[in-house]
Chain A
Amino acid sequence: MDLSHISLTDAAELLRSRSLSAVELTRHFLNRIETTDPTLNAFITVDAAGALAAAEAADLRLAQGQATPLTGIPLAIKDLFCTQGLRTTCASKMLQHFVPPYESTVTRRLKAAGAVVLGKTNMDEFAMGSSNETSFFGPVRNPWDHDRTPGGSSGGSAAATAAGLCLAAIGTDTGGSIRQPAALTGTTGLKPTYGRVSRYGMIAFASSLDQAGPMTRSVADAATLLQAMAGHDPLDSTSIDAPVPDYQSGLTTSMRGMRIGIPAEYFADGLADSVRRGVEQAMETFRSLGAQCLSLSLPSTAYAIPTYYIIAPAEASSNLARYDGIRFGHRCADPQDLQEMYARSRSEGFGAEVKRRIMLGTYVLSSGYYDAYYRKAQKVRRLIADDFQSAFTQVDLLLTPTTPETAFRIGEKNSDPVQMYLSDIFTINVNLAGLPGLSLPCGFDENNLPVGVQLIGRPLQEATLLAAGHAFQQVTDWHLRRPS
C-alpha cells in the first residue's frame, strides 16, 4: 500500500488495527520529506525528533485504546502557528530564530487529539502573497509542475499535502490563502467561518480576516481535522461560542433539494477557459446529484480587491509594529540609538511585500486619509456582506471558480503586485464577509494543472459545505489524482 496518499480515515484504521504503528507512519513521511522536499521546499522546519516522540506517545495511546481519529496522524503545520519550543518563522527573516514560549490553540488541540506534527511549512512572508515567492526561505514549487508556484500564502501546506509529504496540513486564509493554493495544487481546502477556529497563537496578518483551516486530499479528511480544530476558545474574544456539529456524520452523498447560486460576476472576463470549463463541469455534477443551480448577482463583487487592500494592510501595519527588535525577532547590529534600531531592524527583517503592505496600511490609517480609505472600506465591506446575506435568502450555497486561472510560473507575476493581488479576486470577498469557503479539485487544464471550484456557505454552515463537497467527491476522482 502507498502510505503517502492514503486518507486520514484509512490511516486511522490501520493504526487502530495495529497493522501499522504511528512511528512507522511518521518515519514514512519523514523519509518522503527527506527525499522530496529539497526540490519542493514545502517545509521550513522539519521536527523529526519531536514527530517521532509524538508518534511513540500516540502508539502508547493506541495500544491503550484511547485513540481519537487523529491519534498518530502525521500533519504539516503552516509556519505561523506558534509551537512551543519549535521555531516559528512566519517565513520571515524577522522571526528566523524565533522559538515561541507558548502553543497556539489550534496546534494544542491537534496535539491533544494525538496528531503528530512533522514540521512547519513554508508560506509567503507573514502570509502576505499569493505565490509563496515572498518567503525568506525561498519559493515552494508546485508538485504538478516544478516551474510553477503552488499559490499562497499556504503554499507549503498545499504542496506537502499534494505531494504526499504528510497526511494533511493546516493552513490559514486571510484573502484566499487556503483555497487558492488548494485549487492550484489539486487539494481540498476549507476556510471556516471567521471565529469558528481560534486565532490564539496564530501570528496575525489581518486580525479581522485571518482564519485557520484544514488542507487535505479529501473533504472527509477536512471534516475530521475541522472537528478537532473548531470551537470556542476563551483566549480568543472573536471566536464564536456556538456548538460544533459532528461534521463526519453530516457527510452525505445526496444533493437533493440543495439550491446552489451561481453569481454572474464570478464568470466575467479574465476567467481562463480551462477554469470555466472545470467549474461548469462541477455545476453539472452537482445538478446530477440533485441540486438546483440558480443564477444570481453579487453586485459589490468588483470592490473586493480595493476594499481588501485597504483593510488588510491597515490591520497588518498595526499587527506588525511589535517587531521592533526589542523583545524577540531580528535586531540590527550596533544601532546608534533607538530610532536607528527600529529603522534598521525592520528594514533588514522584513521583505519587500511586507514593507509594501505596512506602508499601504500606515497610509490609509493616517490622519486626513482615514475617512476616505479605511472608513469607506469598512462601509463597502458591509455592502459585500449584505450581498451574500441577501443571496443566501434564495440559495443554500454559492458556487464559483476558486481562482481565475491555474498555477502560474514562478516569477511570472513578481514584478506586478496588482496582477498578483488579482489571483485572489474570487476568494477575498468570502473573508470580508466572514463566511466559510471550500475549494475542491474539479478538473485539469491542458497542461495537466489542477482547477478548483469554490463553494461558499452561510455563517457556521461548514457542515453544509462539507456535505456538498463530499457528495461531489463520491462521484468524481479529481481529488484522487496525484502529481507524478
Chain B
Amino acid sequence: MSQDMSSFAGTDRYEIVVGLEVHAQMRTQSKIFCGCPTRFGAAANTQICPVCAAFPGVLPVLNREVVNMAIKTGLAIHGQVRLLSEFSRKNYFYPDLPAGYQISQYELPIVEHGHLLITPTADLPPKRIGITRIHIEVDAGKSMHEGIQGASWVDLNRTGTPLMEIVSEPDLRSALEAGEYLKKLRAIVRYLGVCDGNMEEGSFRCDANVSVRLRGESRLGTRCELKNLNSIRNVMRAIDYEAVRQIDLIESGERVIQESRLWNADLNSSRSMRGKEDAHDYRYFPEPDLPPLRISAARIESVAASMPELPDAKATRLQTEYQLSEYDAGVLTASQALADYFEAVARYTAELGHPNPKMAANWVIGELGGRLNKDNLEIQQSPISVQQLGKLVAMIQQGVISGKIAKEIFETLFTDGGDPQHIVEQKGLQQVTDSAAIEEAVEQVLATYPEDVAQYRAGKGKVLGFLVGQIMKATQGKANPALVNQLLRAKLDKRL
C-alpha cells in the first residue's frame, strides 16, 4: 500500500473526518475513590490499599477535588456542567482491572456540549470544534509481560488515578486540525493545573476515530479507532496514514471495516487489534455504591471564580496590553509558564525604566525559545532568569549595548550565568557612543577604502552597508550603529 497521498489521483475528492477521545489524568493529591497517593514511579504495588485492589467488601468514596477539576475543565471548554450526573460500571475482565469493572460515567456525564476554537492556519478565522462530553472515570493498573517467563505481573499503583475522558465531535478535518485541537486542549488543562498534559508518559492519552468520505457526502464513513498515540506528532502521522489506508481500500473497491488499530510509531504504520464482532459488551449500569452526583449552582460559581486566565483570553490581553502581534501572543500563551515568563521580563524592563515589550517578546520567543529547544529544556528549567533577560533587554533599549553584543552576552548567561551588566563592564562591551571615538574609526575606514568611498560618491548607495560593517568591525561591534550611520553619512556627504 502506498503511503504517499499524492500518489492518488482522486485523493482530493475525499474528506477526512476525525473525532478525538482524550484521557487526561487529573493531578489530585490522592486517588479518586480512596486516600492513596497518586504518586508515580514508586515500587510496584506500594501505593495501594484494599480499595485499590478491590478487596471484598470495600466501597468507593468520591474525591471532591476530582469533581472540582472536572467542573473547571468543563467551564474552560464552554461546556454545560450537569447539576445531576451519575456513575456507572463498565464491566470487563482484565488482570489490571481489579474489580472486574471500571467506575465511569455513561448516560449522564458531568459535562456536555462544550467546544474549543482552534486556528490551524493563520490566514483563516478560528474554527469551532465541538466537545460532546467530559466524563469522570478511574484509571486501571498496569500489566507487565516483558521479560517474564510463563506469567504476567500486575502493578496496581496507577489503579484509582482519576481520569477525565474528553470526547470531541467528529469536527476535525485533517491531521493538522487534530494537532491544533490537542495543543489547545493540552494548554487548557495545563493552565487549569488539572493535568500535566504529558503524552509521552501517558498522563494525556489520545485515541483518534478516523473515517473518510467523498466531499459533499453528508453521511459519515465507517470509522476506525487508532490507539497507542503517545505524542501529538504520532496522532497526526497516524491520522494521515489511516486516511490513506481507507481511501486506498475504497478506491480499490473494498470496504473499511470498523475496528481498533494499534499505531506503531517505529514502523510508521498501524495494525488491527480486534474487530467489531468480538467487541466487548460492557454491560453498563448505574454504580450502586455511589449516589447520583449532585452539583449545586453555587459550587459551580465558586469553581468559576477560582479559574485562572485561559490561553485565549491571555493572548487577547497580551496583544492589547503589550501591543504584541497575534502570532507572538499565540506562541507565548501556548504555555502558561512561557506567558508568565514573558510578562515578568516585560515588567522588569519597565521597572528598570527602559520598557520594550515587543523586544522582550522577541527575545523570549526567539533567542531563549530557540536555545531552550536546542537543549530540550522547558521554560521552567531556563538557566536564564527573568531578571537576567530583563536587564539584557533593558540595556539594549537603553542603548548600552547593541543587539549583536547582547546575543554574545546571552550565550554567556545561558552557559555560565552571571549579571549582564557585570559581563558588559568586565569585557568592556559597552556600546561606544562617544562621537569622537567613532569619528576616529570612520576616518580610518574611509582612508583604508578610498575606492568604495569613490563608488558611494558615484551613486552606489549600497556600499554604505559595507563601510558601516567595517567601522563596526574596527570597534569590535561596540559602536552605536545609529551613531555610526549618522557620522559616516555626514563625513561622506561633507566631502562632496
Contacts and interface: CB of A to CB of B under 8 A. Distances in A.
Interface in B274-309: 281, 283-285, 288-291
A324 B50 CA distance: 15
A432 to B, nearest CB: 13
Contact of A328 (B55, B284, B289): B55
A156 B288 CA distance: 27
B84 interface: no
A202 B57 CA distance: 5
A395 B281 CA distance: 46
Contact of A365 (B98, B100, B283, B290): B283
A342 B93 contact: yes
Interface in B287-334: 288-291
Nearest to A202: B57
Interface string A123-139: 00000000000000000
A327 B62 contact: no
A303 interface: no
Contacts of B101: 318, 321
Given A321-B99, A366-B281, A100 B57 contact: yes
B144 interface: no
B103 to A, nearest CB: 11
B285 A100 contact: no
B204 to A, nearest CB: 29
Interface stretch (A7-15, A143-151, A230-238, A408-416): A230-238
B95 A338 contact: yes
A323 B423 CA distance: 70
B283 A102 contact: no
B95 A324 contact: yes
Contacts of A199: 57, 59
A404 to B, nearest CB: 28
B89 interface: yes
B10 interface: no
A248 interface: no
Contacts of A81: 57
Q: Which of B58, B95, B284 has the most CB of A within 10 A?
A: B58
B418 to A, nearest CB: 56
B83 interface: no
Nearest to B87: A237
B60 interface: yes
B154 interface: yes
Contacts of A101: 50, 55
Contacts of B283: 317-318, 362, 365-367, 370
A384 B93 CA distance: 34
Interface in A377-403: none
Contact of A322 (B98, B289, B291): B98
Interface stretch (A203-211, A256-264, A467-475): A203-211
Contacts of B284: 365, 370
Contacts of A43: none
B290 A237 contact: yes
A374 interface: yes
A95 B152 CA distance: 23
A225 to B, nearest CB: 20
B62 A237 contact: yes
B95 to A, nearest CB: 6
Q: Which of A98, A235, A326, A342 has the most CB of B within 10 A?
A: A326
A235 B61 contact: yes
B285 A237 contact: no
A104 B56 CA distance: 10
Interface string A183-204: 0000000000000000111111
B93 A102 contact: no
B56 A318 contact: no
A370 B285 contact: yes
Interface in B37-70: 50, 53-62
Interface string B415-443: 00000000000000000000000000000
Given A322-B100, A366-B281, A200 B58 contact: yes
A82 B290 contact: no
Interface string A74-92: 0000001110000010100
A237 B60 contact: yes
B91 interface: yes
A314 interface: yes
Nearest to A239: B59
A315 interface: yes
Contact of B59 (A90, A237, A367): A237
Interface string A159-203: 000000000000000000000000000000000000000011111
Contacts of B152: 338
A318 B55 contact: no
A307 to B, nearest CB: 15
A264 B154 CA distance: 56
A90 B56 contact: yes
Contacts of B289: 204, 207, 237-238
Contact of A234 (B55, B61, B100): B61
Contacts of A207: 288-289
Interface in B90-120: 91, 93, 95, 98-101
A201 B285 CA distance: 22
A326 B61 contact: no
B95 A104 contact: no
A213 to B, nearest CB: 17
A104 to B, nearest CB: 6
Contact of A200 (B57, B99, B281): B57
Nearest to A342: B93
Contact of A82 (B57, B62, B91, B154): B57
Contacts of B54: 322, 327
B61 to A, nearest CB: 6
Nearest to A92: B56
Interface string A346-369: 000000000000000010011100
Contacts of A326: 95, 98, 154
A321 B91 contact: yes
A227 B473 CA distance: 94
Contacts of B93: 321, 324, 342
A236 B154 contact: no
B285 A365 contact: yes
Contact of B55 (A100, A208, A314): A100
B428 to A, nearest CB: 70
Contacts of A365: 91, 283-285
A90 B283 CA distance: 25
Given A100-B50, A324-B95, 18 more contacts: A102-B50, A102-B55, A201-B58, A202-B57, A203-B56, A204-B57, A204-B289, A234-B61, A238-B288, A315-B285, A318-B285, A328-B55, A338-B152, A362-B283, A366-B281, A366-B283, A367-B281, A367-B283
14 contacts: A95-B56, A98-B56, A201-B58, A203-B57, A235-B61, A236-B61, A237-B62, A238-B291, A315-B285, A318-B100, A321-B91, A328-B55, A328-B56, A365-B91
Please give me the 7 A-B residue pairs with the lowest Cβ-Cβ distance, nearest first.
Answer: A321-B100, A365-B283, A207-B288, A208-B288, A203-B56, A201-B57, A322-B54
